[in-house]
Amino acid sequence: MRRPALAALVFVSLTAAAAPVCEVVAATDANTAAASMPATAALRDLESRIEYGYYTEDGNALETLARETARSAAQGPDEPTARNGLRSYYSALADYRLALLELGKADGRARADADQCVSSLDHTLDTAGLSNSASAESLALQSACLALLSDLGSWRAPFSGARSKSQMRKALKLAPANPRVLLLDAVGAVAGTPDGAAREVSLGKLRKAIAALEGERQQVVHAPSWGLADAYARLGRLYLEKGDTVAARDALERALLTAPQFRQARRMMTKITIG
């Protein structure tokens, strides 16, 4: 594996000198309620850089971010596990985004990145309590990476597919209204080669995820907060597959309003424009 698996995930600030905005924090103790704590500029910047690399399809930037994030955790073993776990989550997110960019390539990198995502989150979930939104986000992200491994036909494909479904069921049980859990569940509904019925299921789930993501935007700043542009782009793709170009255009315009640099959404919009 390219990077070592890291510590447990709890969403907390990276420094004590934080800006007065809010991030989602969940305690690992099942008897402790989730609380809000200040999110740092460093945390918001890390997520933004990962998503920008995905939108602009800059694999080199994503690779560098994943490496640096993992290395920074490895260099601080005496830090609270929450800090290392936070870096682990974002390292896994960078791997997931890399794997998506590399789908269809013959060099096997997509499989390697999806596998690294799973491995990093394995350790996180081994050491974190599964009774909070933070763990649900980790489970959902791992489910998505396991689904990629299954689709890519690795030797572990049958096991990966079954485990992906299991992890998503756990995520939905823990945090049924979490926006990214809902989004990744919708993505999983059309994993592999979907039929029309699967697309309709995914459309309904995507609309629910988008409503949750839009609602989250109306609140104070949260971290993680990624997913809205991706959700609209995926919605646009499903509408295109159905032949509903009017609905597809509307969804893609919303994706580009959220992330103007989103190349994938721009390509789909161009496809609609030129017919």
Domain count, the chain: 1
Quick one: pLDDT at residue 113? 94
pLDDT at 83: 56
pLDDT, tens only, 217-247? 888 777 789 999 999 999 999 999 999 999 9
Identify whether 258 is part of a domain. Answer: no
> Is residue 198, in this structure, part of any structural domain at all?
no
Q: Residue 167 falls within a domain, yes or no?
A: yes
Q: Which residues have C-beta within 8 Å of that of residue 88, sequence separation ≥ 6?
A: 5, 6, 7, 9, 70, 73, 120, 121, 123, 124
Domain membership of residue 219 (yes or no) is no
Is 70 exceeded by the pLDDT of residue 152? yes
Q: Which two tokens stand for residue 194?
A: 């979907």
For the chain, the average pLDDT equals 80
pLDDT tens, 36-94? 333 467 878 999 999 999 999 999 999 999 888 877 766 655 455 555 567 788 999 99
Is residue 15 in some structural domain?
no
Residue 274 lies in a domain: no
Domain containing residue 35: 22-175
Give residue 194's pLDDT band: very low, low, confident or very high (50, 70, 90): low
CA distances (Å), origin 264, targets 56, 80, 87, 234? 8, 38, 27, 10
* Total Cβ atoms within 10 A of residue 204: 12
Single pTM value for the model: 0.82
Q: Is the pLDDT of residue 18 over 50?
A: no
Instruction: Specify the pLDDT at position 189.
Output: 86
pLDDT: is 255 or 130 the higher one? 255
**What is d(CA 144, CA 155) in angstroms, rounded to the nearest whole number?**
17
Pairing of strands 35-38, 22-25: antiparallel
Q: Is the pLDDT of residue 167 over 80?
A: yes
Q: What is the predicted pLDDT for the residue at 76?
A: 53
Place of tokens 């939108």: 55
Q: Residue 74: its pLDDT value, please?
A: 65
- Nearest alpha-carbon partner for 150 in 170, 164, 168, 169: 164
Predicted confidence at residue 127, as pLDDT, reads: 65
Residue 100 lies in a domain: yes
Residue 101 is assigned to a structural domain of this protein? yes
d(CA 99, CA 111): 7
Measured distance CA(72)–CA(77) in Å, rounded: 9
